[in-house]
Amino acid sequence: MSPRCLVFILLWYPAALGAQSVGESCRAPQMDGGFLVPEQETYLHESSLTYACMDGWKPAVDGWWATSVCLNASWSHRPQCIDESCCLPPMIPNGKYTESSEGWYKEGWVLEIKCDEGYQHTTQEATTTCRNGAWSSLPVCERSGNSCTVPPKISHAVIILQKYQEIFAADSEVRFECEEGYGVQGPDTKKSIFCSAGAWSEAPKCSKSQVQDVGHDEDTSGGVTKPVDPNRGRGRGTHTGGSTVTETGSATTSDKTDSSSTPLMVTVDNCGAYPRMPNGDVVRKSPMFIKYACNAFYKRVGPDTVVCYNDGTWSEVPTCKEAFCEVDLDEYANYHIKESGTIILKERETRDVPCVWRNWISRIRCTKGKISVSRCCHYLDYYSQLCH
């Protein structure tokens, strides 16, 4: 069979080309080489359709069948069938490649994989080829021997990063900030460390600054002392000689609400007990972050990684939102469904249940927390409008 890799374009009408309003319906896609359920001319906003492809073809997404949702006159993904010899985008951990605008790749297509910073190919092979619907041996990106892991702990200092990362490429420079009341002494006052040949350079030490009697700082310009701002260096700690020494040895900065400064990250043991996340739990622990995941039938809302700030507070903690439907089959006794009792479906899950007649089934769907139950229909006719 010669590869044809044809794309089946959505059939749009002139009316759909104008300005779209919120909740606008979708036109039915033209499914040459496939069929869809339910088969209608238009679909309401947030309604869904399911489609499958004929022999020799497959959906342009994972699985032998797929579901698409109408969202303001556009489908959540374009329903289309492609030749079985075409390939879907591969998963390359710690690597990237040029993405196809079509969402799939033709037979014989060659992808060049580039590893992320700090990673390298395990072999000299950096390409993969689409052959008969599957990719040839996929390149693997592993940590480079010249890269560095998390920087070592620096006494009385914190690392300044916008976000946490575990691997740093060779020649990376990372800045740090000394705790209030401490500073870098000597001729080299640059507060940075560098990744070289897989190891971090030695960091300059943060030494305690000299202070005068309690309540005053030394004025080196003329030997006159100045009153100490009582709000300087506010944080978790005790006052010693007018400066603030934190209980954890971590740096303090201006108040977290000060828009001119960004809170600094410190090790998670500075924030005490881990935050609770109902219907979820901690799945990974690290000195600099904790990672959460939701239980089955729940969907995470918010970031999965939580860090500790130098003022003793946690970053945003995610929540777990219900992502399931509970169906009492006894309420659908007049549908002639054979089973009884309660079943639970995950969000976007579809389940076929047997009816009292042989080879007849009913289809139950869970979409955005709402259920839809079809009347019993013979499985051979299930994809016709009689089974909606």
Residue 266: half-sphere exposure toward Cβ, Cα within 13 Å = 27
Q: What pLDDT is stored for residue 239 in this prediction?
A: 34
List domains and CATH numbers for the chain. Answer: 14-83 (2.10.70.10), 95-143 (2.10.70), 153-259 (2.10.70.10), 267-322 (2.10.70.10), 324-387 (no CATH)
pLDDT band at 146; cut points 50, 70, 90: confident
Residue type for 28, please?
A: A
Global pTM reads 0.41
CA nearest to 234, candidates 181, 176, 185: 181
Percent of the chain with pLDDT over 90: 7
Give CB contacts under 8 A, 24+ apart, made by 212-218: 212/241, 212/242, 213/241, 214/241, 214/242, 215/242, 216/242, 217/242
Q: What pLDDT is stored for residue 187 in this prediction?
A: 60
Is the pLDDT reported for residue 85 higher than 80? yes
Percent of the chain with pLDDT over 70: 77
Looking at mean pLDDT, say which of 5-9, 111-115, 207-211, 298-302 comes out highest.
Answer: 111-115
* 314-348 residue pLDDT tens: 988 999 988 888 888 888 888 888 888 888 888 87
Residues 206 and 159: their CA atoms lie apart, in Å, by 13
Number of H helices, E strands in the chain: 0, 38
Looking at residue 109, the DSSP 8-state letter turns out to be -
CA nearest to 243, candidates 263, 217, 278: 217
How many residues does the structure list for the chain? 388
pLDDT band at 112; cut points 50, 70, 90: very high
Residues 285 and 290: their CA atoms lie apart, in Å, by 5
pLDDT averaged over every residue in the chain: 76
* 187-244 residue pLDDT tens: 656 788 888 778 888 888 888 876 443 344 444 344 443 443 433 333 333 333 333 3
Residue 9 backbone phi and psi in degrees, to 5? -80, 145
pLDDT band at 113; cut points 50, 70, 90: very high
pLDDT band at 87; cut points 50, 70, 90: very high
Is the pLDDT reported for residue 363 higher than 50? yes
* Burial class of residue 368, CB neighbours in 10 A (0-12, 13-18, 19+): exposed
Least confident of 18-27, 58-67, 288-297, 298-307: 18-27
